[in-house]
Structure 1
Amino acid sequence: MAMLKLLRAPLKYIQGKDSLLNFYEETKNLGSSFLFICSNSGYKNCHAKIEKSFENTGSKLHFEIFGGISSNSEIEKMRKIVRDEHVEVVVGVGGGSAIDTAKATAYYEKCPVTVVPTVTATDAPCTGLSVIYKDDGTFDKYLFYPKNPEAVIVDSKVIANAPVKFLVAGMGDALGTYFEARACSRTDSPSLENGGVTLSAMALCKLCYETLMEYGYQAKLSCEKHLITPALEAVIEANVYLSGVGADNGGLAVSHSVYNGFTVLEECKNTMHGPLVAFGTIAQLILEKAPREELKKVMDFCYKIGLPMTLKQIGVTDEKRVNIAAEKACAQGETVHNLVGDVTPGQLYDAILTADLLGQKYFK
């Protein structure tokens, strides 16, 4: 039987300046006792607005700063709070790790989950999965959920005030969305939701790419000066919603496998997710023999907004080490195998080094 097409998304997506002042209004139907799993900056930048939205409502709020990584022990710690305090709704406030911890906690404790991203560095907020790490910080597994978050509330003011590197990283993650979905669609590979790619999902992925090309640079300039402009709003939506719902329902290919491969290298420990995905996207286009204009457009974009195009920029100085990353990226079960004709570690190694050579030309 052919694979059934499938599309999933968060129940509600809310975005705009000071949207957190509407938090209670948007979530009051979910319960009256909330656990907010926050990153340090998430707590600092959001708790006052959230508390204000709950004034005189009688709801119970518990803010908890989490340990910084979505690890199994961190999830256990949060589950205990949910049980001990009879929490009805779990909320993730912060970056990808805080959000993934909240999603996992809510899933295991059978609570609804709401997401408040404080940076747009990844497309974690809208997806129906979490990346779970071992306690030592190495990748453990993807955890897939039966549904996506109940609500995603993005306060553009919080995003505009966050360091611009997070917006740029999110554009790197979002850059892969269309090309990875296109690759999956060509080979009839399943999306992350394990269904066929719908026309709607492809349209979101394509719009994600077009929005980055159109508004990415201007959004970066606005964000550097903490200005909320239509271009910034457009890119926030591309990074969070279009990329998240797009990747979830469009599938992954080489870009994300390259990220998974490079995470095993010590020297890439501090390189963010999005920039590695962007570099992986250039490698994917090389493997696909993408038209020269398309490759140039993507590389010009990376150069202009400051996404990595060379190995040196992601922290790798020894070419031989790329072999280790390429082997890991091509491990069994990796999404790199969704590409037409499949990819061997040798082919990926050659593509990564070619991407590096092309990238170096920009810095001559």
Structure 2
Amino acid sequence: MTSSLEVFPGEITHAAIVELAERARGFGADMVVGLGGGKALDTAKGVALKIGARSVSVPTIASNDGPASAAIAIYDEHHIMQDILHLPRNPELVLADTQVIANAPVRFLRAGIGDAISKKFEAEACAAAGATTLLGTPASLTGLMAADACYRIIRQHAVGAVRAVERKQVNEDLEALVEATVLLSTLSFENGGLSLAHALARGFSYLDRARGTLHGDHVAYGLLVQLVMENRSEHFISELCAFYREVGLPTRLAEFGLEQPTAGEIRELAEKSMVSPSAARFAPPVNADQLEVAILKVEAITTAQT
């Protein structure tokens, strides 16, 4: 068996995938192994799709559920999402070494919690709206059950897992959490669907002052906005925010570099979130005006708690 090593160029774009696919094709690769973070793994999946090869994911961080997913998020050079592609099947193998994940900066694990904790509420919203998943199928009972289990595991094990990774250690909490954030989260959104929380994540990518902040953190904040749109009680939202603070997830726009966010920035976040197809997977239908009001309400709730 022979292999060839290629270095991830730094951003997952159509051009990067085409260039790397040409090299892989020239080498005669029949399997593409991605090693690294979410963008590197999605690039490897994109190359595998391009050349018709098998895909393997070896995550070095647990910042999202990309390693196990068939979905491939494509961005431009400014990290604004452009497209979502899909492998014909999920990766053949996901090799997640929890000691490697524990050695990574803890902010990545926190982002993975943020990306996964929304899945229960997004799958339920998708099902209630009669919407379809990214794969074009209705939300299934399997997806809803996986999403519920994912949420329960996160609430039970996330705090202990974060404390372990702060010490660069592996414990039972981390093992359980990684199973939830990498595997169950994938089963949840592929079979249950995405909704407003992920739509807000798309919106964040357009905000200049939020550059460099993580997808999972965007989703975590987006979930708070979705819960406001669902007319959840302030007590429910406040309790979830208390959990966010315990694990280190953001609850205010200020935590994304948006100190004293302008009316224009809040409006842009609302409008750009509507670009995402996930914004349509919610009932009743929402518009940018409603999202803007919901964002302001989240800010009011979370600011009052600090």
Q: TM-score, normalised by structure 1?
A: 0.81
Task: For 1:277-288, list aligned pairs within 5 A.
Answer: 277-288=219-230
Structure 1 residues 286-343: Cα deviation after superposition (integer angstroms, max 9, x where no partner): 1101244532332111111111111111222323111011111113x52122111111
**4+ residue runs over 4 A deviation:** none
Query: Match for residue 256 of structure 2?
Result: 314
Picking from 35, 38, 44, the partner of 1:96 is 38
1:130 counterpart SS class: strand
Query: Match for residue 54 of structure 1?
Result: none
Picking from 193, 206, 218, the partner of 1:251 is 193
Contact 2:234–2:301 under 8 Å retained in 1:
no
Picking from 323, 340, 344, the partner of 2:283 is 340
The separation in 2 between residues aligned to 1:69 and 1:104, in whole angstroms, is 12
The separation in 2 between residues aligned to 1:90 and 1:340, in whole angstroms, is 40
Give 1:61 deviation, angstroms. Answer: 2.1
Q: Return 59-68 or 112-121, whichever deviates more.
A: 59-68
Structure 1 residues 31-90: Cα deviation after superposition (integer angstroms, max 9, x where no partner): xxxxxxxxxxxxxxxxxxxxxxxxxxxx21222211111112211221122111111110
Query: Match for residue 299 of structure 2?
Result: 356
Contact 2:70–2:90 under 8 Å retained in 1:
yes
Q: Return 208-217 or 127-136, whichever deviates more.
A: 127-136
Task: For 1:1-364, list aligned pairs within 5 A.
Answer: 59-316=1-258, 317-320=260-263, 321-331=265-275, 334-363=277-306
2:4 counterpart SS class: strand
Letter in 2 for 1:353: L
The separation in 2 between residues aligned to 1:145 and 1:169, in whole angstroms, is 24
Letter in 2 for 1:163: P
* Higher Cα radius of gyration: 1
Q: Structure 1 unaligned runs (5+)?
A: 1-58
Letter in 1 for 2:49: Y
The separation in 2 between residues aligned to 1:357 and 1:311, in whole angstroms, is 11
Q: Structure 2 unaligned runs (5+)?
A: none
The separation in 2 between residues aligned to 1:300 and 1:171, in whole angstroms, is 14
Structure 1 residues 118-154: Cα deviation after superposition (integer angstroms, max 9, x where no partner): 1010111111111111244332111123211111111
Q: Return 178-187 or 72-81, whichever deviates more.
A: 72-81
Letter in 1 for 2:273: A
Structure with higher strand content: 1
Contact 1:303–1:362 under 8 Å retained in 2:
no
The Cα RMSD (Å) is 1.3
* Count of aligned positions: 304
The separation in 1 between residues aligned to 2:95 and 2:164, in whole angstroms, is 21
The separation in 2 between residues aligned to 1:282 and 1:156, in whole angstroms, is 29
Query: Match for residue 31 of structure 1?
Result: none
Q: TM-score, normalised by structure 2?
A: 0.96
Give 1:209 deviation, angstroms. Answer: 0.6
The separation in 2 between residues aligned to 1:148 and 1:263, in whole angstroms, is 26
Letter in 2 for 1:287: M
Letter in 1 for 2:45: K
